[in-house]
Chain A
Amino acid sequence: MSAKPLVIAGVEFSSRLFVGTGKFSSGEAMRRSLEASGTQLVTVALGRIRTGGEPDDILGHLDTGRYRLLPNTSGTRNAREAVLAAELAREALETNWLKLEIHPDPKYLMPDPVETLQAAEQLVRRGFVVLPYVHADPVLCRRLEEAGAAAVMPLGSPIGSSRGLESRAFLEIIIAQSGVPVVVDAGLGAPSDAAAALEMGADAVLVNTAIAAAADPVAMADAFRLGVAAGRAAREAGIARPEPGREPAIASATSPLTAFLGEASR
């Protein structure tokens, strides 16, 4: 639990850990992991759920009173497909929240910036609360914010890679200039990565593989909960040590620059 709640599109979250529902070994493992994570927002792939009302492996194990659902458009390859998927998700899951992800490349699942921006513009007009998954591209994030995105979700490293915050230098810029919450998504491998993202000033993180594929997903979900809470608390406390690769504000003193300002200055 962090002191200052996160607010996205008017909705308050006390947990800054969002969790994906893919790759768990069972519905029960997922249910217990989500509980241990303390999350309040979970993503579900539209492509994975049964939309016809039949019992569903994922939805059947989700307490929808407890978790806000964030359907994603994973599997779509362009804006047109993403908009269709979004409409289907809105109807099936009765939420206008949407994680917009468009990756035409099935190997690395890299998000397509051009199609994502176009889809975001259309979806905002259609009344969706859009959270786009994108590269850690500061200009793209600004364009998405202008298009009306409720948050931006830049990647930390290639999805599923567990390589951590490889995009750190660009995330720092995005965080510094964003007017909407920044959720670091994809590539976080360990709780320390999540803590580092929150320390850096990210508003939240989204984790899936690192929890679902851990030897003990429930214990790992708990570890991520602690990592996120620690990172956020440190951020709010004000970190004394400069972050790696970043100079502290105070440079080493050379010759004094203000000695000329006497007490009698005008």
Chain B
Amino acid sequence: MNFIDVWRRHDFGEVARRIASSGPSEVRRALGRPRGSVDLDDFAALLSPAASGHLEEMAQAAHQYSLERFGRTMRMYAPLYLSNACANVCTYCGFSAHNKIRRKVLSDPEILAEARVLKAHGFESVLLVTGEVARVGRDYLANALALLRPHFSGLWIEVQPLPEEDYASLAQAGLSAVMVYQETYDARTYGRHHLSGPKADVEWRLGTPDRLGRAGVKRIGLGALYGLSDWRADAWFTGLHLRHVETVHWRSRTSVSFPRLRPHEGGDIPVTPFSERDLVQAACAFRLLSPEAELSLSTRESAEFRNRAFRLGFTSMSAGSRTNPGGYASAPESLEQFAIDDNRSPAEVASFLRSQGYEPVWKDWDQTYDGFEGAHPAPRRALAAPAALA
């Protein structure tokens, strides 16, 4: 079954109304469910305004579930922006094709220069990010993966949706995970914010996790961009998508992210409310819906918030992020996609986690796992330390 068919059965406005009208008895029922048996009706109740009065109970349960499944650990990763060239016009993004900015696509030496900095910080998992243009397609990504494969244990991508066969071939090139955020599941709002370019095709994007599952990609990341439409309904649809992926593509792991709209170059659009309190409610609801999904907390959020919220179901964090291509080494002044809010170094974040009794985990994957179906994995090689950090 394809998710598009599932999605079509639910009207966004109707879902938003149903969540808004959830009452205390539905919330109590959802909170009384044994672990692992929260269903999508319960999830709706947990996302409702009625549940916001039960946030402490939700947080305690989310914390407990995460402890049991993941222990006191936090997986660390960093984004590595490869390109800001983009053919899409999206109202909320700094890389939008209409923005008059210098476009940059990293060369091989530049990619390796970025990698050196991230390695020196201790990162073993990197998330490769690009805009969407033809020249930054499958072949460019395969080359980047081949360049980076010897140096990192986990290679994830957050790029434009690709056809199933491209994912299958990238999986052979050492891809460990793919994040593809729907931005919003509200078709009308989606159309208002994705004005032109391939991204305007909402269904192509909606079908991406199914293509990932069929291609055998081992981890599939979902999410909505909160601030575009009604957050509760977008979170519910993300949960619907998560449940679909967990059910149909059960061999793949899942992760969920909670990006909030952040200031960026050239953007001045109305942003729907999504407070830190709402973010906590959403994350806790996801943890109760899925005790095993990875939940990610990004540097879009402030250090003060992250220092307290990290216990509330989250299992992975980025740190020291740069959201511009070449931002770590080769072109630190290039335009960023959005402003980050937690400017601490990875070492500072890790040290804070340790002070709270949590273990920052840099490596939780091995490239061998990505080599089972392809050629033998390349031997790992040491990268020379960057001059600045040597």
**A contacts, CB < 8 Å to B:** 142, 172-173, 176-177, 179, 201, 238-240, 242-243, 246-254, 256-258, 260-261, 265-266
Contacts and interface: CB of A to CB of B under 8 A. Distances in A.
A176 B289 CA distance: 11
B36 A172 contact: yes
B103 interface: no
18 contacts: A177-B246, A201-B37, A238-B29, A242-B34, A246-B35, A247-B64, A248-B32, A248-B34, A249-B31, A250-B31, A252-B60, A253-B56, A254-B60, A257-B56, A258-B56, A261-B276, A265-B276, A266-B275
Contacts of B247: 177, 179
Contacts of A265: 275-277
Given A172-B36, A201-B37, A248-B34, A257 B59 contact: yes
Contact of B34 (A142, A243, A256): A243
B38 A249 contact: yes
Interface of B: 29-38, 55-57, 59-61, 63-64, 246-248, 250, 275-277, 280, 288, 302, 308, 311-312
A260 B55 CA distance: 12
Most buried by A among B31, B59, B60, B248: B60
Contacts of B38: 249
A238 B33 CA distance: 8
Contacts of B246: 177
B26 to A, nearest CB: 9
B269 to A, nearest CB: 18
Given A142-B250, A238-B32, A243-B34, A257 B60 contact: yes
A239 B61 CA distance: 18
B276 A251 contact: no
Contacts of B64: 247, 251
Contacts of B30: 249
Nearest to B33: A249
Contacts of A246: 34-35
Contact of B288 (A142, A177, A249, A256): A249
A250 B35 contact: no
Contact of A258 (B31, B55, B288): B55
A32 B279 CA distance: 59
A258 B55 CA distance: 7
B197 to A, nearest CB: 31
A179 B244 CA distance: 10
Contacts of B302: 266
Contacts of A254: 60
A240 B280 CA distance: 25
Given A173-B36, A247-B35, A247-B64, 12 more contacts: A242-B34, A246-B35, A247-B34, A251-B61, A253-B56, A253-B57, A253-B60, A256-B56, A257-B56, A257-B59, A257-B308, A261-B55
B34 A257 contact: no
A169 to B, nearest CB: 11
Nearest to A259: B56
A249 B35 CA distance: 6
A15 B308 CA distance: 50
A250 B276 contact: no
Given A238-B32, A247-B34, A261 B250 contact: no
B189 to A, nearest CB: 22
B168 to A, nearest CB: 19
A177 B36 CA distance: 9
Given A249-B288, A251-B64, A177 B250 contact: yes
For the complex of A and B, list the 9 residue pairs with the smallest distance between their C-beta atoms, beginning with the closest: A251-B64, A265-B276, A238-B29, A257-B59, A246-B34, A260-B308, A261-B277, A265-B277, A249-B61
Contacts of A179: 247-248
B32 A239 contact: yes
Contacts of B60: 250-254, 257
A51 to B, nearest CB: 37
A237 to B, nearest CB: 9
A258 B59 contact: yes
A125 to B, nearest CB: 19
B32 A240 contact: yes
Contacts of B312: 257-258
Contacts of A261: 55, 276-277, 280
A143 to B, nearest CB: 10
Contacts of A176: 36-37
A240 to B, nearest CB: 5
A219 B280 CA distance: 54
B280 A258 contact: yes
Contacts of A247: 34-35, 64
Contacts of B56: 253, 256-258
B119 to A, nearest CB: 34
Contacts of B277: 261, 265
Contacts of B308: 257, 260
Contact of A250 (B29, B36, B57, B280): B57
